[in-house]
Each structure stands twice: as C-alpha cells, then as structure tokens.
C-alpha cells in the first residue's frame, strides 16, 4: 500500500516538475551568463571602479530576481506533491525534500 502511494505522488509531481525543470534550466543558464558578465566587468581594465560597481549592482539585482524565480518554481513543484501547501519558506522546501527522500528510502527498504 505505501509503495503505491509513493509512486502515485511521484507521478503527479513529475508532470509539474518537468515543466518547472525546463524553466529552472533556462534560468540557471541566464544566471551563468550574468555571472560571466560580472567576471568580464571585473577583468575590464579600462572601466573605472565606480562604473564597474554600478554595472555589477545591476547584474546582482538580476541574479537575485532569477534566484527568486528558481526558488518559486521549486516550491511549486513541492506544493504540487502535496507537501507544505501555501508555505513558501526555503526551510519548508528543504524539510519537504528530506521527507520525500525518507519515503523513498523506506520504499527501497520494503522492496529489498
């Protein structure tokens, strides 16, 4: 009984997760691109320190926005699984992920 319940939960989560995963991948790519831009700005010898700081601050705000979007997508996947609905704290996501891993471990133990 417990095994089928875990499997059903994984299936419904999988549909939401695959959609969110592709969005997360795209956001991760953007994040890497921005980090590369920051590195390029830091390496630029012709730009003044003040200009570098201004450019980097703008890019860091973009990074924060992207990281927030990634967290929201991860939380949507977690909420879709029925874990911690409506709770948007990162701790709840981590706790929920840990619970899923425990369930999976228990499932493996039962099958073994």
In this predicted model, what pLDDT tens digit does every residue of 48-80 receive, in sequence order? 999 999 999 999 999 999 999 999 998 887 777
Contact of 27 with 66, CB cutoff 8 Å: yes
- Counting the structural domains of the chain, the total is 1
Average pLDDT of the residues in 23-33: 96
Predicted pLDDT at 30: 97
Range of the domain at 91: 2-111
Contact of 2 with 110, CB cutoff 8 Å: yes
Least confident of 2-6, 45-49, 97-101, 104-108: 2-6
Distance (Å) of CA 108 to CA 12, 61, 101: 20, 43, 11
């Amino acid at each position: 009984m417990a095994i089928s319940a875990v499997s059903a939960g994984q299936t419904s989560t999988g549909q939401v997760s695959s959609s969110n995963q592709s969005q997360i991948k795209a956001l991760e790519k953007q994040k890497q691109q921005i980090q590369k831009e920051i590195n390029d700005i830091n390496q630029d010898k012709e730009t003044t320190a003040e200009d570098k700081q201004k450019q980097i601050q703008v890019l860091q705000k973009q990074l924060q926005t992207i990281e927030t979007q990634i967290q929201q997508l991860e939380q949507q996947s977690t909420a879709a699984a029925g874990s911690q609905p409506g709770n948007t704290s990162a701790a709840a996501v981590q706790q929920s992920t840990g619970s899923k891993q425990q369930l999976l471990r228990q499932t493996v133990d039962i099958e073994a």
